[in-house]
Amino acid sequence: MRKFELSLASDYIPEWTVVDAIRELFQNALDEEAIDPENAMTVQRKNDKLYIGNHKSSLTTKSLLLGGSTKKDDKHTIGKFGEGYKLATLVLLRLGHKVVIHNREAGEIWRPRFVDSKRYDAKVLTFFVESNQDHGDCPLGSLIFVVDNITDDVWTKIVDSNLHLQPPGNVNDTPKGQILLDEDQHGRIYINGLYVCFNKDIKYGYNIKPEYLAIDRDRRLVGDFDLQWLTSDMWASRNEDAIELLKSGAPDVRYARHKFDYTQKNRVYKDFIEEHGEKAVPVSTQSELKAVPAGYTPVLVNDEYKSVIVGASDYEEPTIAEEATALEKLRTWYDEVCFNLPISTRLMGEFELIFSDLEELL
């Protein structure tokens, strides 16, 4: 039996929960499948034990090095820090969950636990690696992590944080991920099906592909700008649904002006005109409202909705009629008099001569 001490104290990352730790094991299994689709993830819960792994994976002791990730440059995977399963194992052991790793392809069983290290003069995470071909009743798979004491309560929390364990919901698929339409998912952000955080301002939920959104090591923080930039992109292909979001001013489409092409902007403009009339003008401030020329109908809307409308190639700025000259006003008055009063042909002729003289002078 070989022994490998890691320079990880038992109280490291104290804020992590069982759900956080299990998420890391799922993430590793999903990343392995992303790298090789034939290396499918396998998940099973039996007798309060959770089995997570892959059909074609294996571990080497080199992977015990912190930072020793093979996925740093793979845009399709979440894990890039080289800490995942080590940190997950540490947290699970600390919280009373025994962990055993069946590394079948290498003919090994790994049994991690905390030991009092003479080298570090502290209790540290240590992996004991034994050669063993007898894997008992462990489900088939070349690499399987077995975590015990997964009670019904813990399992419920794990399922709630993992779309892969939930029944299919009502979603809109986009090239960069899924828009989750069910009300119980609103505001929830997932990366590759694994829960990351809750955003109270976002109207819908989102399951985003790993290559399109960067997250921190703890998989908990997503910047508002990055998220809203991406969700605006995801909604850009949804047309009618996106229009309603624009009207409501939802943060989900806060950057729609940068994401919608001219065809989509023209669609939004057409919808605006159909609702408010040909002479409708979108405004988002009181000063803009006051500046709308006579003959047009100002419609107060949010700034993003207005920006998309005025960005449409079909949109025409309202025109301001030039002030009529004195001669033009006189001609207008004369035409109205001729139309409404009985004026002799001789008098009309004299008026025409006067107009001709005035036009030459001006």
pLDDT tens digits, 80-122: 334 789 999 999 999 999 999 999 989 999 999 999 999 999 9
Render pLDDT for 299-342 as a digit per residue (tens, 0 to 9): 999 999 999 999 999 999 888 655 667 777 777 777 666 656 66
Tokens of 114: 């905390």
The answer on pLDDT for 259 being more than 50 is yes
133/25 same-domain check: yes
Q: What is the mean pLDDT of residues 227-248?
A: 89
Q: Are 198 and 184 in contact (CB under 8 A)?
A: no
Whether the Cβ atoms of residue 5 and residue 115 lie closer than 8 Å to each other? yes
For the chain, how many structural domains are there in total? Answer: 4
Residue 237 has pLDDT above 80, yes or no: no
Q: What is the pLDDT of residues 123-181, one digit of tens each?
A: 999 999 999 888 888 887 899 999 999 999 999 999 999 999 999 999 999 999 999 99
Q: Which domain holds residue 347?
A: 326-361
Are residues 6 and 108 part of one domain? yes
Question: Quick one: average pLDDT of 66-75?
Answer: 51
* Residue 176 pLDDT: 94
Residue 71 banded pLDDT, cuts 50, 70, 90:
very low
Residues 6+ apart with CB under 8 A from 173: none
CATH of the domain at 66: 3.30.565
- Tally DSSP H helices, then E strands, for the chain: 11, 14
278: Cβ contacts below 8 Å, ≥ 6 apart: none
Whether residues 75 and 184 fall in one domain: no
Q: What is the C-alpha separation between 362 and 355, in angstroms, rounded? A: 11
Same-domain check for residues 214 and 273: no
The answer to the question of residue 246 being in a domain is: no
Domain-located, residue 59: yes
Could you tell me which residue, 250 or 217, shows the higher pLDDT? 250
Please check the confidence at residue 347 and state whether its pLDDT lies above 80: no
The kind and range of the H/E element at 105 are none
Residue 288 within any structural domain of the chain: yes
Same domain, 28 and 158: yes
Confidence of residue 1 (pLDDT cuts 50, 70, 90): confident
Q: Are residues 300 and 345 in the same domain?
A: no
Is the same domain home to 154 and 199? no
Handedness of CA 61, 72, 17, 48 (dihedral sign): negative
CA separation for the pair 64, 84 (Å, rounded): 10
- Pick 295 or 350 by higher pLDDT: 295
Closest CA to 45 of 140, 134, 152, 141: 152
pLDDT, one tens digit per residue, over 19-51 is 999 999 999 999 999 889 999 999 999 999 999
Residue 329: what pLDDT? Answer: 74
Same domain, 53 and 105: yes
Please check whether residue 100 is in contact with residue 149, taking contact to mean a CB–CB distance below 8 angstroms.
no
Residue 78: pLDDT over 60: no
Together in a domain, 19 and 112? yes
